[in-house]
Amino acid sequence: MSKQTNLTVKGQVTIPKDVRDALGLTAGGPVAFERDGDRVFLRKGDVDQAELARRRAAILADIDRVVEKYKHLRTGRPTDEIMRELRGDESLP
């Protein structure tokens, strides 16, 4: 596959969509350049494992907060009981 694009004054290029798709590149994702003489190769960059671990921990903490907030909706309770609790109406059957 051979593609050509123009370099901006800031040294930026647009990677063609079919190339991005083929490499699985996404906005904000890492890319790597490898030089071999006067040729440069683009490849999908390595993922920062420490950053992934931080993101994973943040997501799990968010999940824990949601689970705690809605623990009263646990399974095994009748729907009518849950609805009474949500509505704050204990007088309903």
Structure tokens at 27: 């906005």
- Give the per-residue pLDDT at 64: 94
User: What predicted TM-score, i.e. pTM, was given to this entire model?
Assistant: 0.47
- Give the per-residue pLDDT at 93: 56
Residue 17 CA to residue 8 CA, distance in Å, equals 18
User: Considering only CA atoms, which of 39, 1, 52, 53 is closest in space to residue 23?
Assistant: 1
Residue 15 above 70 pLDDT?
A: yes
Structure tokens at 86: 């949500």
pLDDT in tens, 41-83: 989 888 778 888 888 999 999 999 999 988 877 778 788 887 8
- Give the per-residue pLDDT at 90: 63
Is 15 within 8 Å of 25 (Cβ atoms)?
Answer: yes
- Give the per-residue pLDDT at 7: 92
**CA dihedral sign, ordered 22, 23, 24, 26:** negative
